[in-house]
Amino acid sequence: MPAKPPSAQPRERLGVFGGTFDPVHVGHLVAAVNARHALALDRLLLVVANQPWQKHARTVTPAPDRYAVVEAAVTSVDGIEASPLEVQRGGLSYTADTLDELAERHPDAELFLVIGADVADDLDSWERVEDVRDRVTLVVVNRPGVRPTKPLSEWEVVSVEIPGIDISSTDLRARAVDGRPLDFLVPEPAVRLIRQRGLYAGGR
């Protein structure tokens, strides 16, 4: 009796959630863990931008510090990983370049790009957006009552509703400058590292 051919290995389902993360906060992690659960992702990478092309108007915390804080934040979060790809690549960070690199490193992976509903409305402004569209399933995380306002008919799209947690990195930076607590807004290991490195402390 002939042996059965080996069954094909299932493709890795790899999530990509990019951002400046200045700093990372619990809202980011709520989006990450809910997207991973809803899509049954094997892993979800929090990809820390080196030099965000959208953020020329303000000074951004150095990329190695932002990456270290994200890494601390996800240390004990199952299936969520900090990725230094864009920090290591240097220069301006473009999602298309990151997806090229991930496709080369993980040629058998199925890629899922996680974004917020507000980001979905700005996709037309992205560098090489057609290449991004061809590579990924777009995962739009929506807070209750918030949806993209522009059509995404050309994309393969999945929507994931997440709890509405109204936290902004801008407010967190202001809190840190004023010496107000970040506890329960930023994961505790990340708060410790922010304090150890004196990030966002202004003149204090």
Distance between CA atoms of residues 13 and 112, nearest Å: 7
Angle at 36 between CA 30 and CA 38, to 5 degrees: 95
Query: What number of other Cβ atoms are within 10 A of residue 33's Cβ?
Result: 17
> Which sequence spans correspond to the domains of the chain?
13-197
What pLDDT shows up at residue 204?
Answer: 41
Superfamily of domain 13-197: HUPs (3.40.50.620)
**Is pLDDT of 9 > 80?**
no
pTM comes to 0.91
Distance between CA atoms of residues 121 and 140, nearest Å: 11
pLDDT tens per residue, range 106-150 = 999 999 999 998 899 999 999 999 999 999 999 999 987 777 778
